[in-house]
Amino acid sequence: MPAEARPSLGSIALTFATIAATSFGGGQKASIRRQVLARGWIDSDRFLEGLEIAQVLPGPNLLNLAIYCGQKARGVPGAVAAFAGVSIPPFAIVLAAGALYFKFASNPFVHGGLRGCAAGALGLTLGNALELTWDERKSWLSIALVFATALAVSLLHMPLLPVLAIFGGAGILGEWLRARKRTEA
């Protein structure tokens, strides 16, 4: 797909609306990454920078990431277009799903469908984690920190703030040492 030097606001809104309407969970971040990189709106480093910012800011990560990408593509109007695109379809879907759920809540197929959605969300989250860390697969420290973080949060149930301080600090220190080693060489 050719890179769009200056995408239209409609293109930004439609791209994010499509992502929001057709994916969920961790898969949305991977979909945003694929779309914005393929369209040439931002590069991989800027995307990861935006993902980091989106996760630190208050509010939904997906919304923050979409606003970041829209702003990088077209400034404030792009951010507004991305916000509208990523917000409106899920709002409509949740309203419709809520109405249907309350109408058919006692149906066993509904419960089975929800269990299937939970499994799908887990798979998308794992796929997203693999895609976002694939470029770091040669860095043993990065891989170790990913696994240590997952272990600390999921199995040890450590609070996120200490996990962020410990493993984030270790990652920052590791990158600083690696950059220092490159400049000395």
Return mean pLDDT, the chain: 88
Rg (C-alpha) for the chain, rounded Å, is: 19
Joined together, the tokens standing for residue 32 give 């945003």
Predicted pLDDT of residue 26: 66
Q: Which residue has the higher pLDDT, 111 or 128?
A: 111
The one-letter code for the residue type at 69 is C
Q: Would you say residue 132 has pLDDT above 90?
A: no
Phi/psi at 138 (nearest 5 deg)? -85, -10
Predicted pLDDT of residue 7: 94
H-helix or E-strand containing 173? helix 169-184
In tens, the pLDDT along 68-90 reads 999 999 999 999 999 999 999 98
The whole model's pTM is what? 0.61
Predicted pLDDT of residue 182: 85
Predicted pLDDT of residue 1: 42
Predicted pLDDT of residue 12: 96
Predicted pLDDT of residue 80: 97
Q: Would you say residue 2 has pLDDT above 60?
A: no
